[in-house]
Amino acid sequence: MKNSTKGLLIGLGATVVVGTIIVSSSEKALQKIESYMNRKRAKDFIKEKLNGNDDALSVVDQLSDEEISNLLKIVDKIGNLKGKINVYGDNVKDMAEDFKHTLHGYTETVKEKFDK
């Protein structure tokens, strides 16, 4: 094999190795950044919703990255349900009010029948 071919193969191999290292290190960096952001988001949630409870904040520090991620998924789902419950809650209030008026009307009708 010619020296130029060997040099080209060595250069290509080195490029592949360096590229693999860069990609794997960037994935690790992205994971670290995502972990940091999730942990900060969990702490912000505790500060906002739990008035900065120190015990809850210390628990967040002890949780694994996967546990933090699962916790945030649960918080997001609860937030989505809360919005839906508010919509349904208004409908339930209206239906309860209608039912109350209907029941009151029936009560008045029954009283009138027994009063006669």
41-65: pLDDT as tens digits:
888 888 888 888 888 888 888 888 8
The domain of 43 spans 25-113
CA distances from 68 to 28, 30, 82, 110 (A): 17, 16, 21, 59
Tokens of 113: 């029948």
Q: What DSSP state is assigned to residue 7?
A: H
pLDDT at 92 (0 to 100): 64
For residue 2, tell me if it sits in a domain. no
Residue 50 within any structural domain of the chain: yes
pLDDT value of position 56: 82
Verdict on whether the full-model pTM lies above 0.85: no
* Structural domain contains residue 30: yes
27: left (phi over 0), alpha (psi -120 to 50) or beta: alpha
Q: What is the pLDDT of residue 70?
A: 87
Task: Mention every residue, 6+ apart, whose C-beta is less than 8 A from residue 16.
Answer: none
State how many domains the chain has. Answer: 1
pLDDT value of position 25:
72
- Domain assignment of residue 20, yes or no: no
